[in-house]
Amino acid sequence: MRIPCPYCGERDVQEFVYRGDASPVRPLGEDGFYEYVYLRRNSAGVMREHWYHAQGCRNWIEVQRNTQTHEILGSVFARRVAL
């Protein structure tokens, strides 16, 4: 599998570390941590995922991937999304 890194270009999946669903947002207060830590949708279809380009530019990226076909629709730096 090849993953496009916004900085390095398309790279072999082995350069990356997978984290998972990019949609959970760390709660600001006391509530919502159980959901944040444990609950995931396990979507069939296009999903936003966090990958770390550990063997490249060391950036966390957000990849859009179809979990049914493994088709990758694009990626952006995760920090761009977070800001």
Partner 1 sequence: MSRLPTGGLIDRAKPLNFTFDGNVYRGFDGDTLASALIANDVKLIGRSFKYHRPRGVMTAGSEEPNALVTLGVGARAEPNTRATTVSLFEGLEAVSQNRWPSLALDVLAINQLASPIFVAGFYYKTFMWPAKFWEKLYEPLIRRAAGLGRASMLPDPDHYDRNHAFCELLIIGGGPAGLIAALLAGRAGLRVIIADEDRLLGGRLLSERHEIDGRPAAEWARMAAAELASMPNVTVLTRTTVFGVYDGREYGAVERVADHLPRATAGQPRQRLWKIVAKRALLASGAIERPLVFGGNDRPGVMTASAVSTYLNRFGVVAGRRAAVFTTSDSGWATAEDLIAAGVEVAAVVDSRTSRHAAAGRVQVAGAEVFLGAAIDDVRGRTARSVDVRMANGQSRRIAADLVAMAGGWNPSIGIGSNLGSRPVWSDTIHSFVLDSAPAGMTAIGAAAGRLSLSEALSSGATAAANVVADFGRSASPTAAPQCSDDPAAVTPLWHVATRKTKAFVDFQHDVTDDDITLAAREGFVSIEHLKRYTTLGMATDQGKTSQLNGHALLAEATGKTIAEAGTILSRPPYLPVAIGVFAGHHREAHFRPVRRTASHDWAVTQGASFVDAGQWKRAQWFARPGEQSWLETVNREVTTTRNGVGICDVSTLGKIDVHGADAAVLLDRLYVNMFSTLPIGKARYGLMLREDGLVMDDGTTTRFEEHRFFVTTTTANAGKIMQHIDYARQVLWPDLDVQATSVTEQWATYAVAGPLSRTLLQKMLPDLDLSNEGFPFMAVAEFRWNGMPARIFRLSFSGELAFEVSVPANLGDAFIRAAFDVGHDFDLVPYGTEALGVMRIEKGHPAGNELNGQTTAGDLGMARMLSKKKDFIGRVMAQRAGLVAADRPSLIGIKPIDRDARLRAGGHLLACDAASVAANDEGYVTSVAFSPTLGHSIGLALLKRGAARHGERIRVHDPVRGADIDIEVCDPVFVDPEGVRVRG
Partner 2 sequence: MAKGLEISECQRFGLATVMLRKNANHAAVGAALQVAAPADPTWVASNELTMIGTGPGMWLALTETPSQHWSATLAERLAGVASVSDQSGGYVIFRIAGSSARTLLQRGAFIDLTPPAFGAGSVATTVIAHIGVIIWQIDDVPTFHVALFRSFAGSFREWLDTASVNLTF
> Which residues in this chain contact partner 1 in the complex, by CB under 8 A?
1-3, 10, 13, 17, 19, 26-27, 30, 33-34, 36-38, 50, 52, 54, 58-60, 69-72, 77-79, 82-83
Contact partner, 42, from partner 2, partner 1, none, Cβ < 5-8 Å per class: none
Which H/E stretch holds residue 73? strand 72-77
Q: Is 9 in the site for partner 2 (CB under 8 A)?
A: yes
- Name which of 46 and 52 has its Cβ closer to partner 1: 52
Q: CA triplet 72, 83, 19: central angle to 5 degrees? A: 45
Report DSSP letters for 22-69, one per residue. Answer: S-----SSSTTHHHHHH-----SSEEEEEEE-TTTT--EEEEEEETTT
**Contact set with partner 2 (CB under 8 A):** 6-9, 11-12, 14-15, 55-59, 77
